[in-house]
Amino acid sequence: MKLHWSPRSPFVRKVMIAAHELGLAGRIETVRTVVRMGMPHAGLLRDNPLSKIPTLVLEDGRVLFDSLTIIEYLDAQAGGGRLFPAGPARWDALTRHALGNGLLDLLVLWRNERDKPPAAQTTEWMSSFTVRTEASLDHLEREAPHLGGSSFGIGHIAIGCALSYLDFRFADLSWRTGRPALAAWHKGFAARPSARATEAADD
Amino acid sequence: MKLHWSPRSPFVRKVMIAAHELGLAGRIETVRTVVRMGMPHAGLLRDNPLSKIPTLVLEDGRVLFDSLTIIEYLDAQAGGGRLFPAGPARWDALTRHALGNGLLDLLVLWRNERDKPPAAQTTEWMSSFTVRTEASLDHLEREAPHLGGSSFGIGHIAIGCALSYLDFRFADLSWRTGRPALAAWHKGFAARPSARATEAADD
């Protein structure tokens, strides 16, 4: 399997954490593919016309994306049901995933906006990003005991990657302040071998 | 079930089309909730800290999002496997969904950027939006025979909603030009009772 990959994409990291958790990392050939908001990647466009990573190309040529699709595929290759709980717990896990992933979407947009010249920034967007990020973190602080009390899976991966991305790109937000339960949960996440093997690197 | 809803959100429309296809539309109480990129919605923030729609509140108070999570939940309530094929076809369906949904994400961003004062627009973004949208539409034109040949499901819903959103907000793109197979497929999509019952309205 060939994965369009970057060491700094939090969405790619979700896939690689899942691969490590499932014992499949050795079967994935990573190909460095750099994409930016304003610069589509010609080679990647052939596999994924949205020019987004992660994108997985299977041995038979079939192409899978986005990160959630790829992770559920890998989970099935490893026997199924390891990162996706069955029964009613599935909807909580998928909603947690949507929260972590949606927070990442928001943070990536925020970073793009923040890096523009001040005259090109939209004030209401910046303020909306702040409100929604703080609300998400407060929600997760209340959710932290349930995160710790449920089997590690797709929701934990997305939330862990979002918090680590805050450390990587938004250290000034000091997200741990006033959120001791979430900080403690993230400490356990970051210590997992799958998380340690996939830490973002600024290069 | 209470759904945070808007008549113009293509992501909400995905859920409502699914509900109609599954015979569950009558069980959903829609609540008009207006969200904009720069304006979080105070009431919605309590249910979904990302302030995004659709968000579904169940009778027991549990909250589900995003649209994909809600649709798979509704599918399960209707017996399961109706909008999500089993086996290897699942990955194709989820990838089609990711393409339609990713195209919608891109189009919503594009619209936000396009509506800014010219001095605040980022030229490379606008050009990237064009390249990726055209690449996605060309990909879908090649895919159209397979769309028509597979059982209607989650992938078709996302792609159909993305094409209808192009008609609604990007009529100037004339996406049908040079894409007769995709145009024919969309005609069939738009004629389904579920699509007719959920057409976007500018009000």
CA-angle at A140, arms to A136 and A142, nearest 5°? 120
Beta pairing, strands A55-57 & A29-32: unpaired
Q: What is the mean pLDDT of residues A66-79?
A: 98
Tell me if A116 and B122 make a contact (CB, 8 A cut-off). yes
Query: Of B31-40, B70-79, B99-108, B132-141, which range is least confident?
Result: B31-40
Other C-beta atoms closer than 10 Å to the C-beta of A136 total 24
Q: What is the ipTM of this complex?
A: 0.97
Q: How far is B192 from chain A (nearest CA, A)?
A: 27
Contacts of B65 in chain A (CB under 8 A): 95, 98-99, 102
Examine the pLDDT at B32 and tell me if it is beyond 60: yes
Does residue A170 surpass a pLDDT of 60? Answer: yes
Closest chain B residue to the Cα of A99, Cα to Cα: B50
Q: How far is B179 from chain A (nearest CA, A)?
A: 16
| Inter-chain CB proximity A128 and B38 less than 8 Å | yes
Q: Residue A71 pLDDT > 60, yes or no?
A: yes
Percent of chain A with pLDDT over 90: 89
Query: Using a CB-CB distance cutoff of 8 angstroms, which residues of chain B are in contact with residue A120?
Result: 119-122
Q: Which residues of B touch A94 (CB under 8 A)?
A: 64, 68-69, 72
Mean pLDDT of A181-188: 98
Domain range B2-77, its CATH number among 3.40.30.10, 1.10.10.10, 3.30.110.30, 1.20.1250.20: 3.40.30.10
CB atoms within 10 A of CB A3: 20
pLDDT tens column, B55-65: 999 999 999 99
Distance CA A115, CA A82 (A): 39
- Asked if A38's CB is within 8 angstroms of B122's CB, the reply is yes
Give percent above pLDDT 70 in chain B.
Answer: 99
Cβ atoms of A75 and A18 within 8 Å: the answer is: yes
A chain contacts of residue B136, beta-carbon cutoff 8 Å: 49-50
Pick from A6, A103, A17: nearest CA to A54: A6
pLDDT recorded at residue A202: 61
Long-range contacts of A120-127 (CB under 8 A, 24+ apart): A120/B119, A120/B120, A120/B121, A120/B122, A121/B120, A122/B38, A122/B116, A122/B120, A124/B37, A124/B38, A124/B39, A125/B37, A125/B38, A127/B38
Angle (CA) A67-A10-B131 rounded to 5° is 65
Interface probe for A, chosen from B34, B63, B69, B140 (most Cβ of A below 10 Å), is: B69
pLDDT at B201 over 80: no
Report the alpha-carbon distance of residue A15 to residue A9 in Å, rounded.
Answer: 10
Could you give the percent of chain A with pLDDT greater than 70?
99
Tell me where in chain A the CATH 1.20.1050.10 domain(s) lie: 89-192
Residues forming CATH 3.40.30.10 domain(s) in chain B: 2-77
Closest CA to A132 of B57, B8, B44, B2: B44
Say if B130 is an interface residue toward chain A (CB within 8 Å): no
Cβ within 8 Å, pair A105-B105:
yes
Is the pLDDT confidence value at B119 over 90?
Answer: no
**What does the alpha-carbon distance between residue A112 and residue A125 come to, in Å, rounded to a whole number?**
11
Q: Could you give the dihedral angle defined by the CA atoms of residues B90, B91, B95 and B100, in that order, rounded to the nearest 10 degrees?
A: 0
Write down the CATH number for the domain with range B89-192: 1.20.1050.10
Chain A residues touching B162 at Cβ < 8 A: none
State the nearest Cα–Cα gap between A44 and chain B, in angstroms. 11
CA distance A16 to A3: 10
Question: Which of B37, B91, B138 lies closest to A73 in CB terms?
Answer: B91
Helix axes A89-114, A10-22, angle to 10 degrees: 150
**pLDDT at A10 (0 to 100):** 97
| pLDDT reported for residue A120 | 85
Which among B49, B102, B119 is the nearest to A52, CB-wise?
Answer: B102
pLDDT tens-digit profile of B134-182? 999 999 999 999 998 889 999 999 999 999 999 999 999 999 999 999 9
Residues A107-160 pLDDT 10s: 999 999 999 888 888 889 999 999 999 999 999 999 999 998 889 999 999 999
Q: Given an 8 Å threshold on Cβ–Cβ distance, is B45 in contact with A132?
A: yes
Q: 3-state secondary structure string, chain B? A: CEEEECCCCHHHHHHHHHHHHHCCHHHCEEEECCCECCECCHHHHHHCCCCCCCEEECCCCCEECCHHHHHHHHHHHCCCCCCCCCCCHHHHHHHHHHHHHHHHHHHHHHHHHHCCCHHHCCHHHHHHHHHHHHHHHHHHHHHHHHHHCCCCCHHHHHHHHHHHHHHHHCHHHCCCCCCHHHHHHHHHHHHCHHHHCCCCCCC
In this model, does residue B28 exceed pLDDT 70?
yes
Contact B69 A94 (CB under 8 A): yes
Containing H/E element for A4? strand A2-5
What tokens were used for A6?
A: 């970057």
